[in-house]
Amino acid sequence: MLNEQVRQKLIAIAGAEGFKDDPQSLVTHSYDGTPMLQSLPDGVIYPADTAQVSAIMKVLSEHRVPLISRGSGTNLCGGTVPVQGGVVMVMHRMNRILEVDLENLTAVVQPGLNTKQFITHVESLGLFYPPDPSSMSISTLGGNIAECSGGLRGLKYGTTKDYVIGLEAVLPSGEIIRTGGKLMKDVAGYDLTKLLVGSEGTLAVITEATLKLIPPPKAKKTMLAMYKDLYGAARTVSKIIENRIIPATLEFLDNPTIRVVDDFAKLGLPLDMEAILLIEQDGDPATVERDIAMIENICRSENADRIAVAADEEEALKLLTARRSAFTALARLRPTTILEDATVPRSKIADMVMEINRIAKKHDVTICTFGHAGDGNLHPTATTDARDPEEVHRVEAAFEEIFEAAIRLGGTITGEHGVGLVKAPFLEWKVGAAGIEVMKGIKQAFDPFNLLNPGKVFAKESRKRVVIDRG
Amino acid sequence: MLNEQVRQKLIAIAGAEGFKDDPQSLVTHSYDGTPMLQSLPDGVIYPADTAQVSAIMKVLSEHRVPLISRGSGTNLCGGTVPVQGGVVMVMHRMNRILEVDLENLTAVVQPGLNTKQFITHVESLGLFYPPDPSSMSISTLGGNIAECSGGLRGLKYGTTKDYVIGLEAVLPSGEIIRTGGKLMKDVAGYDLTKLLVGSEGTLAVITEATLKLIPPPKAKKTMLAMYKDLYGAARTVSKIIENRIIPATLEFLDNPTIRVVDDFAKLGLPLDMEAILLIEQDGDPATVERDIAMIENICRSENADRIAVAADEEEALKLLTARRSAFTALARLRPTTILEDATVPRSKIADMVMEINRIAKKHDVTICTFGHAGDGNLHPTATTDARDPEEVHRVEAAFEEIFEAAIRLGGTITGEHGVGLVKAPFLEWKVGAAGIEVMKGIKQAFDPFNLLNPGKVFAKESRKRVVIDRG
């Protein structure tokens, strides 16, 4: 519980309507998009502007109270669960588009702005903001920046990091820093902009962002390719890239996912396929036609069993549904859905899927895999039941081995979801003990009293590497 | 001077041929591409591999001897001048391409590899590495990474930072860290990869880099547009971008530069023009034709006096010469050439050029301006004489005002050259006192004894903001 003095100071800053600590508000902000994690905060605050964020931070800093800044809490790594209590700062009142600069192709936004709303606005001006996390209808840009969100267009267009060129942020001391600007190039000192993107709210509270916009593609074409052989699908992915084609989207669904999706969305997908690739290319019309024709040829040469190219926008949307509904369809199956994002070099996609299947079988758990094949970012998703501790334990053991396998294949424990609480014990596997020490030093430089989102990214104890049974 | 014990330890690691401290070697490594800066190191060492770098670092760390890692020393910010003595580590023996992975479109290189040689090799494999700093015939990839080098293709393709996806680096303790990998996405902890790019050798010694490659464009077209009105040229830059065209290259030369270049290269350029734009577009042939046609129209609507579109590769090279020879031509004029890189939002290009001209006149110095108009990165270049302290003082005063003007226009003190020694006093103008403190904290986290490239980035004293005479 907050002491009354702190409480009164916070109310004085944010107003009575801007601070809440009734039980319902506390419970509502005790969890995020991640299953099976919950911890009550001591208060919830809704700042109206940067000055308020700074003033709040000064009070909390003085009294050594933790602060967890968040948007819509759609993250899947427990990134915004207030595990050490403190004040949850919800950025929803700071949700304005401050500027779209058509001369410089930049936008300045507040962190609480909804991602989809921003994308729609930008598109109405004939511009393009590519990062499109699956949660974009609900998520905020501030949350996307904190987690460095990816999405379906990441292969060709990169992730959130590639579009953030300037930030305003409040340090734990309450001081306000500004990094970058409307500048395509800036090497004045260390790159704090890119450091803050993906720092999961542990270094500073982001209060404003300058984003880079690009011209939109003039045309787009969507296709599905279906395979009875997993390796045929994987070789298709590699061959497309080897042929110097970078599609806008290159997504993968495995057989268990296909079955679930078809049952949910009634798309008439062939249930005997081991893999489906969803492929989109965009750009100039002639380029798109040529690339899609080349991709079709590659799919055929790798023995795709069926290929469907969308004739129009409506058909394209139907094909996209197969991929877009994967998470929703899986979430219906059982009470608890755990979606992970182990990532490997794209040439290792098939090996990774085989490893996931082997590990799932070993631990007798159900794991469906889909994801961004083009950038090696897979989402192995376990359907389980949080009320069955024994099964959950097996799921956790399986994911531990999946992370281990990803690292062994030259990959990483998270491609776009973040470390948060869930993957903190595994971070050392990827970055090593020396890497952890350097990162802790950076944390210390920003946040000497460990007030910002404490308990995240760095685990109390790192997991020992498991010994993989290669049998 | 190094004590004999350290000397012997270093020789034991790198071999007698790998360590030098004869006067000639010390003098040769006492300066870099920056005029008027020189300071003798105590030794020069040439490691053969990462293990040697680590062993050397451990010795130097134990004895608290500074280390300055460098490639070819082409930087223009005094970044590799050993101002506090110590050992200069030249990476030229570590100059191999370790791998080009055609499936993942990545390359793994050592830091001492020549940039041009790498680009040529990659192109021979039908791939493309866009960063093309003007110094690329001499520079190394390690140097490019340390400085986050840009180049003529930065507008469309970004800078070195956008292509470095993994690093191996040796910390001041001698420990080896690995960041990122052959991964298009990795959010496992803070982004040390992007933090090390552009950190100017102050945080770690880079010993290996994983670089992203992309498919090359299929066609390219080059043109010049010449203007009697500076604002016409500037409006052309803005209008091209506003029309959703991102050219591969969009370079600018002002009238003084045009005169010097023409005198040097005998190109028959019209000497009464206030500005020349060099524009290149690449991509699919049809797209290139369409974009160049649209750009021609824009140039005409902004009253370009002459437009020359290259009919073939040979003509294109001739047009490129105007821009590529700017620095060489200017360097002939007088004994000392000081090339800066103040950067502004691209919509402010004309205002910035006008400011530069006003400031040059005020201080009675010659400043020619050329640079990357498309990303607002200008290179105001003073021709002067280091032997005339009074004139040099006026040049320095002028540059101080130029940096001030860039900041005032929403820009930065350096777009691609780095802070180094030369711009350290001005860094606070861009990032603020709180920004400096955070950066110093990061430095402290990596390098607690301040052994890596000491005296750079952070100045003993920041310059007070000058009061600009707006008359």
Using pLDDT thresholds of 50, 70 and 90, give the confidence band for residue B186: very high
* φ/ψ of residue B108, rounded to 5: -115, 125
Nearest to B188 among A177, A183, A419 (CB): A419
CATH number for the domain running over B219-323: 3.30.70.3450
Minimal Cα–Cα distance from B456 to chain A, Å? 10
Reply yes or no on whether the pLDDT at A468 is more than 80. Answer: no
Reply yes or no on whether the pLDDT at B232 is more than 70. Answer: yes
Pairing of strands B336-339, A87-90: unpaired
Span A316-333, average pLDDT: 89
Percent of chain A having pLDDT more than 90? 92
Look at residue B460 in the predicted model and tell me its pLDDT: 84
Q: With a CB-CB cutoff of 8 Å, which residues 12-41 of chain B face chain A?
A: none
- pLDDT tens, position by position, A401-422: 999 999 999 999 999 999 999 9
**Chain A touched by B268 (CB under 8 Å):** no
Span A42-54, average pLDDT: 98
Using pLDDT thresholds of 50, 70 and 90, give the confidence band for residue B465: low
Nearest chain B residue to A179, by CA: B431
Reply yes or no on whether the pLDDT at B466 is more than 80. Answer: no
CA geometry: angle A98, A106, A110, nearest 5 deg: 30
Look at residue A467 in the predicted model and tell me its pLDDT: 46
Minimal Cα–Cα distance from A57 to chain B, Å? 15
Helices (H), A243-303: 255-265, 285-301
- pLDDT tens, position by position, A155-181: 999 999 999 999 999 999 999 999 999
Domain A219-327 coded CATH 3.30.70.3450: yes
| ipTM for the assembly | 0.96
Span B247-272, average pLDDT: 93
Reply yes or no on whether the pLDDT at B294 is more than 50. Answer: yes
Look at residue A465 in the predicted model and tell me its pLDDT: 59
B435 vs A242: CB contact, 8 Å cut-off? Answer: no
Output the average pLDDT for chain A.
Answer: 95
Torsion of CA A407, A409, A415, A419, to 10 degrees: -10
- pLDDT tens, position by position, B49-103: 999 999 999 999 999 999 999 999 999 999 999 999 999 999 999 999 999 999 9
Percent of chain B having pLDDT more than 90? 93
Distance CA A155, CA A373 (A): 9
B188 vs A434: CB contact, 8 Å cut-off? Answer: no
Contacts 24+ apart (CB under 8 A), A309-312: A309/A221, A309/A222, A309/A223, A310/A221, A310/A222, A310/A223
Span A297-318, average pLDDT: 94
Percent of chain B having pLDDT more than 70? 98
A343 vs B183: CB contact, 8 Å cut-off? Answer: yes
Q: 């996209």: which residue's tokens?
A: A320
Domains A97-212 and A219-327 in one fold: no
DSSP single-letter state for residue B216: P
CATH of B334-417 among 3.40.50.720, 3.40.50.1820, 3.30.70.2740, 3.90.1150.10: 3.30.70.2740
Span A22-39, average pLDDT: 96
Minimal Cα–Cα distance from B316 to chain A, Å? 25
Domain A4-90 coded CATH 2.40.170.20: no
> Is A3 exposed, middle or buried (CB count within 10 Å of its CB: 0-12, 13-18, 19+)?
exposed
Reply yes or no on whether the pLDDT at B148 is more than 70. Answer: yes
Using pLDDT thresholds of 50, 70 and 90, give the confidence band for residue A297: very high
A-B contacts at Cβ under 8 angstroms: 278
Nearest chain B residue to A415, by CA: B186
Reply yes or no on whether the pLDDT at B471 is more than 80. Answer: no
Strand order through the sheet with B176-180: B97-101, B106-109, B205-212, B164-170, B176-180
Using pLDDT thresholds of 50, 70 and 90, give the confidence band for residue B15: very high
The token pair at B177 is 């860290």
For chain A, the domains span 4-90, 97-212, 219-327, 334-421
Reply yes or no on whether the pLDDT at A68 is more than 90. Answer: yes
Using pLDDT thresholds of 50, 70 and 90, give the confidence band for residue A469: very low
Nearest to A183 among B148, B177, B411 (CB): B411
Q: Which helix (H) or strand (E) holds B117?
A: helix B115-124
B222 touches B320 (CB < 8 A): yes
Output the average pLDDT for chain B.
Answer: 95
Reply yes or no on whether the pLDDT at B469 is more than 60. Answer: no
DSSP single-letter state for residue B222: E
- pLDDT tens, position by position, B161-184: 999 999 999 999 999 999 999 999
Minimal Cα–Cα distance from B22 to chain A, Å? 34
CATH of A97-212 among 3.40.605.10, 3.30.465.10, 3.40.50.1000, 2.30.38.10: 3.30.465.10
Nearest chain B residue to A201, by CA: B190
Q: Which helix (H) or strand (E) holds A252?
A: strand A249-254
Span B342-358, average pLDDT: 94
- pLDDT tens, position by position, A243-269: 999 999 999 999 999 999 999 989 899
Look at residue A319 in the predicted model and tell me its pLDDT: 87
Minimal Cα–Cα distance from B49 to chain A, Å? 20
Look at residue A471 in the predicted model and tell me its pLDDT: 37
- pLDDT tens, position by position, A352-378: 999 999 999 999 999 999 999 999 999
Alpha carbon distances (Å) from B234 to B153, B257, B375: 19, 16, 12
Residue from A26, A31, A14 nearest A72 by CA: A31
Question: What fold does the segment set A334-421 form as a domain?
Answer: Alpha-Beta Plaits (3.30.70)
Look at residue B324 in the predicted model and tell me its pLDDT: 86
Q: With a CB-CB cutoff of 8 Å, which residues 356-375 of chain B face chain A?
A: 372, 374-375
Q: Which helix (H) or strand (E) holds A209?
A: strand A205-212
Reply yes or no on whether the pLDDT at A238 is more than 70. Answer: yes
A274 touches A254 (CB < 8 A): yes
